[in-house]
Amino acid sequence: MKSYTAQTATPDAIVDELLNGDGAVKISGLFTPEQIADARAIIMEHSEQASEKVTHFQGAAEQSGKIDLQRRVWNLLAKGDVFSDMAAHPVLMDILRKFLGTEFIMGSIAANRILPGGPGQEPHVDYPYWDYHKPESHPIGFNCSFPMNAQVSVILDPFTVESGATGYMPGSQKELRYPTAEDKFYDTCSQMIGEPGDVVLFYGVTWHCAMPNKSDHDRNAVLIQYLPKWVKPMEDMPAALPQSFIDAASPDIRQLLGLNYPYPEVLDAAKAGNTEGRK
């Protein structure tokens, strides 16, 4: 995985690497240690109790009684301003405008905390999100010839081999396919190794999963899903946020919440007159 800084992470270089290179890049120096500590403290507080929240790719963990060792914290925008700063970081916004179209949106912003002993996840793709294990439920011929997803992980604890840094298969983004046991993912994968404050940006077609945490510390990351404006987001953020948050939202946050794109709309009740077309 190639490494960049805020200065070297140009949209052209990153988009080429996402499409034609490994499918994942690391960008350092976007966030201060204070922002990372703030985000981590909020997430730890919200995931202190054994979770009653929905979680994903934990079928094996559920069977072995370990499902509680992966904890999600959802709807992060409502839980601290630092998460808006992460979601709309200008370096990420510039890259994503190029990758997903200028009016792209955010589909989810959540934390994934893996406690020591957590068994990690099933290898999967996030394109456009998680359900490509049912390919027949998608259109015939569906493929990844253009991007319909980008994933950001903001790393909050040391991401090491031991702590279960996200495993991924470099180059697997070139063909849309859900990995199977025959792919021997765990034997051949690389890992997204990083320090607190590093960001990993990847194309969600890339096979990946949280790996088992064999260290003695928690492994936290903020996971952000970005989508083209016309893909239905996974979290209904406007419904989950207080009206005061929406009223105060910056133009970039309004775009990320999907508030700038009118569809679906009750067209029968929309203002009369022409609204689409070159003229």
Q: Which stretches of the chain bind Fe ion, using CB under 5 A? A: 126
Q: What span, in angstroms and rounded, lies between the C-alpha atoms of 207 and 127?
A: 10
The mark string for 94-113 relative to ligand AKG (x by CB under 6 A, - otherwise) is ------------------x-
Contact call for residue 173 and ligand AKG (CB under 6 A): no
Per-residue tokens: 71: 């904890």
Q: What span, in angstroms and rounded, lies between the C-alpha atoms of 199 and 26?
A: 6
Q: Report, in Å, the least distance between residue 117 CB and ligand AKG.
A: 15
The kind and range of the H/E element at 76 are: none
Q: Of these, 29, 51, 56, 252, which contacts ligand AKG (CB under 6 A)?
A: 56
Q: What span, in angstroms and rounded, lies between the C-alpha atoms of 65 and 67?
A: 6
Residue length, the chain?
A: 279
Three-state DSSP at 237 gives: helix
Cβ neighbours, 10 Å, residue 186: 13
Rg over alpha carbons for the chain, rounded to the nearest Å, is 19
Which one of Fe ion, ligand AKG, none is in contact with 231 (Cβ closer than 5 to 8 A by kind)?
none
Peptide bond into 128 cis (omega under 30): yes
Which one of ligand AKG, Fe ion, none is in contact with 210 (Cβ closer than 5 to 8 A by kind)?
ligand AKG
Q: Report, in Å, the least distance between residue 15 CB and Fe ion.
A: 20
Which one of Fe ion, ligand AKG, none is in contact with 198 (Cβ closer than 5 to 8 A by kind)?
none
Task: Report the candidate in 124, 93, 95, 90 with the shortest Cα–Cα distance to residue 106.
Answer: 93
Q: What span, in angstroms and rounded, lies between the C-alpha atoms of 204 and 211?
A: 17
Which one of ligand AKG, Fe ion, none is in contact with 46 (Cβ closer than 5 to 8 A by kind)?
none
The mark string for 189-228 relative to ligand AKG (x by CB under 6 A, - otherwise) is -------------------xxx----------x-x-----
Q: Report, in Å, the least distance between residue 196 CB and Fe ion.
A: 20
Rank residues 194 and 255 by Cβ distance to ligand AKG and give the closer one: 194
Residue in this structure with the two tokens 């499918």, named with its chain if needed:
23
Residue 167 bridge partners (DSSP): 191, 209
Rank residues 21 and 120 by Cβ distance to ligand AKG and give the closer one: 120
The mark string for 13-52 relative to ligand AKG (x by CB under 6 A, - otherwise) is ----------------------------------------
Kindly list the residues in this chain that would bind ligand AKG in the complex (CB under 6 A): 56, 112, 126, 166, 208-210, 221, 223
